[in-house]
Amino acid sequence: MPSSPTPSPTPSSAPEPSGVRRRSLLAAAAAAPVLASLAGAGTAAADSPAGPRALPGGGDLGPNVIVFDPSTANIQGRLDEIFKQQESAQFGTGRYALLFKPGTYNGLNAQLGFYTSVAGLGLSPDDTTINGDVTVDAGWFDGNATQNFWRSAENLALVPVSGTNRWAVSQAAPFRRMHVRGGLNLAPDGYGWASGGYIADSRIDGTVGPYSQQQWYTRDSSVGGWLNAVWNMVFSGVEGAPAQSFPEPPYTTLETTPVSREKPFLYLDGDEYRVFLPEKRTDARGVSWGSGTPRGTSLPLSQFYVAKPGDAAGTLNQALEEGLHLLLTPGVYHLDQTVDVKRAGTVVLGLGYATLVPDNGVTALKVADVDGVRLAGFLVDAGPVNSATLLEVGPEGASADHSANPTTVQDVFVRIGGAGPGKATTSLVVNSRHTIVDHTWVWRADHGDGVGWETNRADYGVVVNGDDVLITGLFVEHFNKYDVQWNGERGRTVFFQNEKAYDAPDQAAIQNGSVKGYAAYKVGDDVTEHEGWGLGSYCYYNVNPSIVQHHGFAAPNRSGVRFHGLLVVSLGGNGQYECVINDTGSPTSGTDTVPSKVVQYP
């Protein structure tokens, strides 16, 4: 769970909104174009090589995918019913996808609770307009938005009733392919604490107001303005973004995103469901749907096995072997074997935070060393028996060149504990070269059920062994050892947010040889080239506030390993950092929640 610092004052050029509360510390109980081809892009044949397939493609999307059209009666009532159920169901089993057919909808306020996704079914966000709001607020948690996780909005145009839409979220709450014809407020009502967040491929005509948001990453978008910053605001490929100014204000701004490929999405072509696969862009800037129609290809739903929560892992693997892609409808899937993705170009797309749980210590999903796999929109939840890994992209030693058609991992989230006991030695391992991980939250739970230093033991969050891997929007928190360990060459990270584990019992529990604590982000000693922009690590050792962490970041001291915009923060003096990176950077001290920053390293 992200902690809750004192919101930084808004810039002197921007008036402070009434009711902004400056607080010095969180309470410990703060309990986060032209269409290239729309027809025939699929790789699946009508029959498998062994003969007619046993499993059908396409079909019904299940009871928890709720589809509206402009003539649907009482849409607001249905939205309110689902919100009431999901508003505070942080570790519940309910999962919902709320889909709007192209058209115009008037007077709606879609409030989103946990595990709820709302999306339009057009090719462009402007195909589906809501004259109203898609709202996330924090009334369920007394105005504190630091636990507003696991919800999303995609592919809609909004005309907010008040002129500004409220999206007060923390981790794992993407705002993708959205067009807000107005402003966007990222703070809860009353401007309480918040710890987000992520925007991509979106156009905000008005101003984005983060207010109390600790950090935020915006990619390949357009904004009419950006009001303020607290600790770490990062932009890549964003028209209208603030200029580079870290450390004050703490804006880290890249003109373009080195490589990006937007997330696959479900849409309607007439009465037929298809999945659109956006094309790869290099040095991207602005939205991918600029003139209304995105570039890419699409697949008919008939080339997907439409999975339901009762399906066993063997069934999912059978579908993959028969040449089908996977569409995971909302729900919880218990796995007794690994889901093996072996075929180039395979799409695994989840709706409504479909959740994979390995029950017996297996790895939930593995990807072969092949081109162009797309994993998107699902949650992996560790099971009660320790898994050596939860998600593997490429086998150990993978070395094939995938630069022309990389694997992408987008809005795929990992959780260890919280919903019940869970363990995993390593959560996400990336072995395949050129993989793009675009927005992930890998979280060892600090609250909920099955939580404790050994109860939900998880030593490593993300381990990158493959070369030429790019991660845009990396959130990793609370692991027992390294949160991120990067061994591959020429790796790049644009935006990193981290908290060290809260629950370390004493200094000895985190000791790393002669070093006090494991770095949040460790670049391997033999790596010669690596680069990162806009990286922050926070400590909140609330079980034992006397713990000292030597540094947040560790890397070889050589010219090819470069960092831009680093910071560490001690939240209220609950633990301290001696340095920012290696032996460089001022220590944190006292009970003031004030970042220590390094502009460039080396």
Catalytic amino acids? Answer: 499
13 Cβ contact partners less than 8 Å away, ≥ 6 residues apart: none
| Residue 228 DSSP class | -
CA dist., res. 318 & res. 408, Å (int): 23
Q: Which two tokens stand for residue 371?
A: 């081109």
Tokens standing for residue 137 = 């607020």
> Phi and psi dihedrals of 455, rounded to 5?
-65, -50
Write the DSSP symbol of residue 85. H
CB contact at 8 A, 454 and 481: no
Decide: helix, strand or coil at residue 429.
strand
**Residue 515: what residue type?**
V
Secondary structure class of 561 (helix, strand, coil): strand
**Helix, strand, or coil here: 320?**
helix
C-alpha distances out from residue 175 to 167, 217, 331, Å: 9, 11, 21
Distant-in-sequence, close-in-space partners of 318: CB < 8 Å, separation ≥ 6:
54, 55
- What span, in angstroms and rounded, lies between the C-alpha atoms of 380 and 451? 17
DSSP conformational letter for 301: G
Q: For the purposes of burial, counting CB atoms within 10 Å of the CB of 118, is it exposed (0-12), middle (13-18) or buried (19 or more)?
A: buried
Residue 423, H or E segment:
none
**Residue 412, CB-side half-sphere exposure with 13 Å CA sphere:** 29
369, 398 in Cβ contact below 8 A?
yes
Task: Enumerate residues 6+ apart whose C-beta is below 8 A from 513.
Answer: none
Please say whether the beta carbons of 91 and 255 come within 8 A: no
Name 416's Cβ contacts closer than 8 Å, sequence gap at least 6: 382, 390, 422, 423, 424, 427, 443, 444, 445, 456, 458
Retrieve residue 319's tokens. 């579908």
